[in-house]
């Protein structure tokens, strides 16, 4: 299957991952489907913020909400990428709202794909399906059956993603829909919000515009970060090459503690600024969030093109461009 030969429906088209894919297609036309329908709950706001992307002739941007079946398009599609999940604003939702959004949205998209006679379906899941991991445990492989505690309401996101994966497996078995699952970990890039709960985004914001870089907590959790440009490459390769009914980890294996991350951002962007550590309030659950990607890399035959430091520099550069553009428009 080659993407240029297919029509594609993208949910979450204006979120972080959706924008990463749209940018990849804009700069890599050889990888682009001949038609992309991207649905968003607020396409007008996206068009105002990203007019070049929104005006692309190959993109059909529409209003839609994956939790409302009647709002979804009834076109015929060869392929679906289901990337809609409120990871940015998710903490503002109740656990039940998060669970319902993910599970109902996935069920609706699978039903739509079956009705449209789509062949391929890339379901974006999460490393949260593996539950919490502590230092000393091996990084999860795809056959790892460790799971979040279902009796803890705070695990709604990870449990909902597991349920979504199961719905995908059922659709593959009962309808022959070729569902491939991408278990996504942590990412960085020009479209990452700097003012929500993502630590690396907060650190870059602090390095650019605040007097110090603040670590909320003790800084002991371990993370890894994949550049959004690598993310797009991996996802599209999985869409084309992934085995139906299989899950693949997507992320970087290069681990770093949160406090070391803050110091790396400081050293890269603002060497004169202090790093302040506040060891209060935040409980440091899921202390290690790093994937094993051997299965994915072996299948795709690709690796990361961008280092963490290169990603930090590019993210900061793009953010400064946005701020300067806004400032110039006001003068």
Give the model confidence (pLDDT) of 157-206 as tens digits: 999 999 999 999 999 999 999 999 999 999 999 999 998 889 999 999 99
Is the pLDDT confidence value at 328 over 90? Answer: no
Burial of 214 (0-12, 13-18, 19+ CB in 10 A): middle
Distance CA 106, CA 101 (A): 8
Band of pLDDT at residue 88, cut at 50, 70 and 90: low
Token pair for 51: 């007019």
Give the model confidence (pLDDT) of 206-232 as tens digits: 999 999 999 998 899 999 999 999 999
Q: Give me the pLDDT at residue 254, please.
A: 97
Q: Give me the pLDDT at residue 217, please.
A: 87
Is the pLDDT confidence value at 326 over 80? Answer: no
Give the model confidence (pLDDT) of 272-283 as tens digits: 999 999 875 445
Q: Give me the pLDDT at residue 287, please.
A: 86
Is the pLDDT confidence value at 146 over 70? Answer: yes
The contacts of residue 140 (CB under 8 Å, 6+ apart) are 127, 130, 133, 146, 249, 291, 292
Burial of 187 (0-12, 13-18, 19+ CB in 10 A): buried
Q: Which residues pair with 40 in a beta bridge?
A: 63
Output the CA–CA distances (angstroms, integers) from residue 285 to 137, 142, 164, 239, in the order listed. Answer: 14, 21, 23, 32
Give the model confidence (pLDDT) of 4-63 as tens digits: 788 999 999 999 999 999 999 999 999 999 999 999 999 999 999 999 999 999 999 999
Whole-model pTM over 0.85 = yes
Output the CA–CA distances (angstroms, integers) from residue 229 to 4, 17, 29, 41, 246, in the order listed. Answer: 19, 10, 15, 24, 23
Q: Give me the pLDDT at residue 281, please.
A: 45
Q: Give me the pLDDT at residue 301, please.
A: 94
Q: Which class in CATH covers the domain with range 3-188+225-252+290-306?
A: alpha beta
Band of pLDDT at residue 311, cut at 50, 70 and 90: very high
215: DSSP letter? E
Is the pLDDT confidence value at 141 over 60? Answer: yes
Q: Give me the pLDDT at residue 197, please.
A: 85
Is the pLDDT confidence value at 1 over 80? Answer: no
Q: Give me the pLDDT at residue 71, please.
A: 95
Residue boundaries of the structural domains of the chain: 3-188+225-252+290-306
The mean of the pLDDT values for the chain is 92
Q: Give me the pLDDT at residue 322, please.
A: 77
Higher pLDDT, 136 or 277: 277
């Amino acid at each position: 299957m080659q993407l240029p030969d297919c029509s594609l429906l993208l949910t979450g088209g204006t979120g972080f991952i959706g924008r990463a894919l749209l940018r990849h297609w804009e700069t890599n036309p050889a990888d682009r489907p001949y038609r992309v329908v991207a649905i968003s709950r607020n396409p007008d706001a996206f068009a105002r913020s990203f007019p070049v992307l929104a005006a692309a002739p190959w993109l059909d941007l529409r209003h839609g909400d994956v939790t409302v079946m009647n709002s979804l398009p009834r076109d015929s599609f060869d392929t679906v990428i289901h990337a809609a999940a409120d990871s940015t604003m998710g903490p503002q939702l109740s656990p039940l709202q998060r669970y319902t959004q993910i599970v109902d949205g996935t069920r609706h998209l699978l039903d739509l794909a079956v009705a449209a006679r789509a062949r391929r379906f890339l379901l974006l899941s999460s490393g949260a399906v593996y539950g919490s991991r502590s230092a000393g445990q091996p990084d999860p492989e795809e056959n790892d059956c460790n799971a979040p505690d279902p009796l803890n309401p705070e695990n709604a996101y990870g449990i909902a993603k597991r349920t979504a994966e199961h719905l995908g497996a059922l659709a593959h078995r009962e309808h022959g829909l070729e569902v491939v699952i991408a278990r996504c970990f942590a990412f960085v890039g020009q479209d990452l919000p700097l003012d929500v709960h993502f630590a690396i985004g907060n650190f870059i914001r602090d390095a650019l515009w605040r007097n110090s870089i603040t670590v909320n907590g003790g800084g002991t959790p371990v993370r890894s970060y994949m550049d959004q440009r690598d993310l797009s490459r991996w996802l599209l390769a999985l869409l084309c090459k992934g085995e139906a009914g299989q899950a693949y980890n997507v992320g970087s294996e290069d681990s770093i503690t949160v406090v070391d991350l803050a110091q790396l951002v400081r050293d890269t962007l603002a060497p004169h600024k202090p790093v302040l550590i506040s060891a209060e309030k935040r409980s440091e659950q899921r202390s290690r969030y790093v994937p094993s990607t051997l299965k994915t890399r072996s299948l795709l035959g690709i690796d990361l093109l961008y280092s963490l430091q290169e990603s930090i520099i590019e993210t900061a550069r793009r953010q400064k461009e946005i701020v300067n553009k806004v400032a110039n428009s006001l003068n």
